[in-house]
Amino acid sequence: MRLAKKNQLDEAEKCFKIGLEFDPKRPEFLTNLGSVLQAQGRIDEAIDKFDEALVIDPDYADGYWNRSLARLLTGNFVEGFADYEWRFKLPEFLSVNQDIPVWKGQSLAGKTILIRSEQGYGDTIQFSRYASLLSDLGAKVLLETHKPLARLFEVMDGLDEVIVRGAKSIHADFQVPIMSLPHRFGTTLDTIPAEVPYLQVSSDPVYDFSSNSQTVIGIAWAGNPKHKNSWAENRSLEIGYLNPLFDIPDISWVSLQVDQRHNEVANIHKKVHDMRDQIEDFADTATVIAGLDLVITVDTAVAHLAGALGKPVWILLSFAADWRWLLDRDDCPWYPTMKLFRQKAPGDWKSVISSVRQALYSKKDLT
């Protein structure tokens, strides 16, 4: 997959097809070819390849995983989330604690259920919305999560207790991995629990923008490099691409970048408020976002946080975007206040920034 990770998709496709000519019964060749086809936007062809792989090996977890992403991308949530359950057969995913029974729809009246965070911060933020649905079923709801998220969720409706992962022994009647909740609730495009805000700010803003008469926009330009969809240029861009935005008058810019790349603000000619020293966790980031007029970000946890807070958020998406952003639409059914700006071709950030610049000049989408 090295060619694919460099966005050399045509070459990667040719290599996998040559491999299949020599050995047409290799499910991993079919699955990798399907992934490349999906990255090219050829979703139906990709699903066909995943299906072929699973005919050869009905227990091939990678085939189910990849087919789940393709199905979810098309909005086929019922079958997509069913396939997604195969992730636990893959070594990179969190295993299920064997001491607590897994919740598969049993009555929760008077019971305690543990939601277990998995994968990235953004995933936990996105699917924490289901906590209130569990509470409505009569359960006491616990959340075990990453330390940087814990304080953010302490004030969330529907949660009775937030526990930092590994901090203590947990006793519960049932457990559920957080990304299994859409499957357990039979979520479809029409039944997404999409009311926002479902997260709240727990303290006064870290930075006071109230005296600023300009439009104040938060910006994040780099995602987690360890994300499973971190092919070259997919989830991050060089800060220089943003210069056309920084030139727009009457806008104050605030960096929401908290990793080492926050230092890149020193490489641009316009003043950007770097909030890194004031942000210790996601609760702090939330209080910064609360003071903004708009958030513009790549596909990272900041996008989910802004959407969960009900803040207007524009997300900059790669050509082969993650499944949750679906296909060929500029809105997001998971977050009503979100607007999507998509690449027109792999690696084409210039067209994305041009569209954002035009939208900012009109300012009609800020409300």
Interval 101-123: pLDDT, tens: 999 999 999 999 999 999 899 99
Check if CATH label 1.10.1200.30 holds for domain 2-89.
no
Q: Following DSSP, what letter does each residue of 166-211 receive, concatenated? A: TSS----SEEEEGGGHHHHTT--TTS----S--S---SS-SS--TT
Q: Are 72 and 187 in contact (CB under 8 A)?
A: no
Residue ranges covered by each domain of the chain: 2-89, 112-184, 215-361
pLDDT, residue 231, reads 45
Does the pLDDT at position 5 exceed 70?
no
What pLDDT, on a 0 to 100 scale, did the predictor assign at position 366? Answer: 56
User: What per-residue confidence (pLDDT) applies to 212?
Assistant: 64
Q: Tell which residue, 128, 130, 132, has the closest CA to residue 187.
A: 130
**Which pLDDT does position 157 carry in this prediction?**
92
pLDDT single digits (tens) 246-285: 989 989 999 999 887 877 887 776 788 888 888 999 999 9
Q: Is pLDDT at 229 greater than 60 in this prediction?
A: no
What percent of the chain is predicted at pLDDT more than 90? 66
- Considering only residues 268 and 28, tell me which one the structure prediction assigns the higher pLDDT: 28
Position 321 scores a pLDDT of 92
CATH topology assigned to domain 215-361: Rossmann fold (3.40.50)
Say what the pLDDT of residue 219 is.
Answer: 96
134: helix, coil or strand?
helix
| CATH of region 112-184 | 3.40.50
Strand-by-strand arrangement of the 294-298 sheet: 272-274, 251-255, 215-220, 294-298, 313-317, 338-342
Q: What is the pLDDT of residues 133-191, one digit of tens each?
A: 999 999 999 999 999 999 999 999 999 999 998 888 899 999 999 999 999 999 999 99
Distance between CA 344 and CA 319 in Å, rounded? 6
Structure token pair of residue 42: 């050829």
pLDDT above 60 (res 228): no
Question: What does residue 201 show for φ and ψ, rounded to 5 degrees?
Answer: -90, 130
Dihedral sign, Cα of residue 232, residue 237, residue 238, residue 244: positive
Over residues 64-88, mean pLDDT? 97
**Is 90 exceeded by the pLDDT of residue 330?**
yes
**Alpha carbons 202 and 149: distance in angstroms, whole number:** 13
Q: Are 86 and 53 contacting, i.e. CB atoms less than 8 angstroms apart?
A: no
Does this chain's domain 2-89 share its CATH topology with 215-361? Answer: no
